[in-house]
Chains A and B, each alone.
Chain A
């Protein structure tokens, strides 16, 4: 389908604006690949060819970059791409169970998509949320502190088209394509939604606030410059 057609004039102009962010055009490969995924859902042939033309590269050079990074998909993924962290800490805390039970529940394996095209599954590495283990990401939004039942409910809701809310993210989950556009640097206006921090993030701060006076009081707005530098 789309692989045979050219990108629209508007889409091509957006690509030019992405290239203009960098001192050297080749640096735009990665955001352009995210952008192609926001339109086509994965890195299509026409995406590779258009990027190569725009950046004056061989298509093989663009493919070499695309194939190096796991977030760029060479085949379509689901509207909702579910990543379950199976790195050591999450795996031990329950991520291995989450993966097995979700896989059985959906009847698909790693890197596969449900027949309705709604949900795809991936074993992912550490996603920098270990204090919220076990962690699941959907379209690279945080779903913290998961259980086997919560993940089953999550994927069922996604397949049924029910609204789903990340634990630390926007008020409702957006699609794979929509979030790919954000990663290409195209804002979606959802920045103010969601919490500033979850409870584990605030643990030390709250313990500190509830304890006696801090050992070191910070002088406020004092310009401290060594005498020699004045």
Chain B
């Protein structure tokens, strides 16, 4: 049985966990002191050696990303934190920032020092006002404590942080769209190369990291690489936040070593809601192909989930029981991607509309079996044919639900409509249900 490893969450029971005093009492800003005793290159080497990989979905090694920033180029460098958490099912960064914003600020100071950036940005989704308050106050308090501004802790290193509210666009979680948005444009992805490490914010060398990735850095600096590597699996080191939601007895956040399984998390959480069975789930948000009960023992690390045909993504474990119509779920996710497609690339802009129309017909029982082949063909003409991964995400729920539940699609046709009662899925009692 895997043991939980609260690191980022260890002080969240303290009512003042979000204040600088509460954070320091829990060991905060020790890692920063250790980092500033080393050279920037040593910090990069240490984070590289730790094996920390991006927690925002792609899993790219954080230290490697930092090492791509050209040094001695006499250009401004930027660190930009992606706090635009919007992937359906994903709910880790917002509670993290509500309870513990200083872990991000400390990580940003260390990361900026390492890549030699003197200005860093937090791109926070706009639909979370109280999270904005907490992060902004953390920045203000860090300035007052000499942790931001000029000559941080006497090190000679200067850093300013600007907090920037988004305004409701999922696509801005894509790093190059985020940069366009931060520059004051519509949030649309850029063609790569050049990658942000060469030409990012204002065409300058830029690192874009997820909140949880950066917030994980201070603990590595405080406790060491060996400590960090003792958690996780061979290629997926350390601890991470798993977010359990849906038809479970107890939803919530679980900070565990990478490689824990859904079966273990469900055992800790009290299982599926009473009287029901697991039907399907996402390992890391709606853009990661769904899993079923046969995947309960897949190690939830980058390699394990990938080998089983999906992606670790954001570790957003959305659980659906047998009352849930899989076609309804696929349609609703498709409506999301249609709504959020930025419109830049034709296959995604037009294709997501066609996906929704076809799924509407299929859910209403008006489709035919030939439509399922057409649907897959359409997916094939969308995925991989656009600038960014939104298009790939859009087809993931469709292809994977068809893979595991093709008969349920056909059942809608033979039944002449959806055979499920949506009232049976709700978490509250329905009058007359």
Chain A residues proximal to chain B, CB less than 8 Å? 21-24, 26-31, 33-34, 55, 64-65, 68-72, 83, 86-89, 91-94, 96-97, 124-134, 137, 139-142, 145, 147-148, 166, 168-170, 179, 182-185, 187-188, 190-192, 194-209, 211, 214-216, 218-226, 229
Q: How far is the CB of A124 from chain B (nearest CB, A)?
A: 7
Can you list 20 A-B pairs, Cβ within 8 angstroms, ordered by A? A23-B76, A34-B165, A71-B126, A71-B168, A92-B426, A97-B422, A97-B426, A126-B87, A130-B243, A131-B243, A140-B129, A147-B428, A168-B130, A191-B134, A191-B137, A194-B130, A196-B18, A201-B253, A208-B6, A208-B255
Q: How far is the CB of B301 from chain A (nearest CB, A)?
A: 17
Q: Which of B42, B130, B164, B165 contacts A225 (CB 8 A)?
A: B42
Residues of chain A contacted by B339 (CB below 8 angstroms)? 125
Which residue of B has the minimal Cβ distance to A218? B223
Is A207's CB under 8 angstroms from B166's CB?
no
Is B16's CB under 8 angstroms from A222's CB?
no
Q: Which of A139, A184, A202 contacts B12 (CB 8 A)?
A: A202
A-facing mask of B98-131, CB < 8 A → 1, else 0? 1100000000000000000001000001111110
Chain B's interface size range is: 35 or more
A37 to B137, CA, bound (A): 22
A115 to B10, CA, bound (A): 48
A185 to B252, CA, bound (A): 30
Is A205's CB under 8 angstroms from B230's CB?
no
Is A187's CB under 8 angstroms from B136's CB?
yes
Is B168's CB under 8 angstroms from A185's CB?
no
Residues of chain B contacted by A33 (CB below 8 angstroms)? 167
A96 to B342, CA, bound (A): 25
A27 to B183, CA, bound (A): 4
A97 to B332, CA, bound (A): 14
The residues in B between 335 and 364 inclusive whose CB is less than 8 angstroms from any CB of A are 336, 339-340, 342
- If A130-B89, A218-B227 touch, whether A204 touches B4 (CB-CB below 8 Å) is yes
- If A26-B183, A219-B223, A226-B46 touch, whether A92 touches B324 (CB-CB below 8 Å) is yes
Residues of chain B contacted by A139 (CB below 8 angstroms)? 129
A132 to B251, CA, bound (A): 8
Which residue of B has the minimal Cβ distance to A51? B184
Q: How far is the CB of A111 from chain B (nearest CB, A)?
A: 13
Q: How far is the CB of B203 from chain A (nearest CB, A)?
A: 11
- If A205-B12, A218-B7 touch, whether A65 touches B329 (CB-CB below 8 Å) is no
Is A219's CB under 8 angstroms from B224's CB?
yes
Is B137's CB under 8 angstroms from A71's CB?
no
Which residue of B has the minimal Cβ distance to A189? B133
A103 to B7, CA, bound (A): 43
Is B252's CB under 8 angstroms from A204's CB?
yes
Q: How far is the CB of B180 from chain A (nearest CB, A)?
A: 10
Is B332's CB under 8 angstroms from A133's CB?
no
Asked if B187 lies at the interface with its beta carbon under 8 angstroms from chain A, I say yes
The residues in B between 223 and 254 inclusive whose CB is less than 8 angstroms from any CB of A are 223-227, 230-231, 242-247, 250-254
Residues of chain A contacted by B30 (CB below 8 angstroms)? 221
Is A140's CB under 8 angstroms from B127's CB?
yes
Q: A30, A83, A170, A221: which has the most chain B beta carbons within 10 Å?
A: A30
A83 to B113, CA, bound (A): 40
Is A89's CB under 8 angstroms from B202's CB?
no
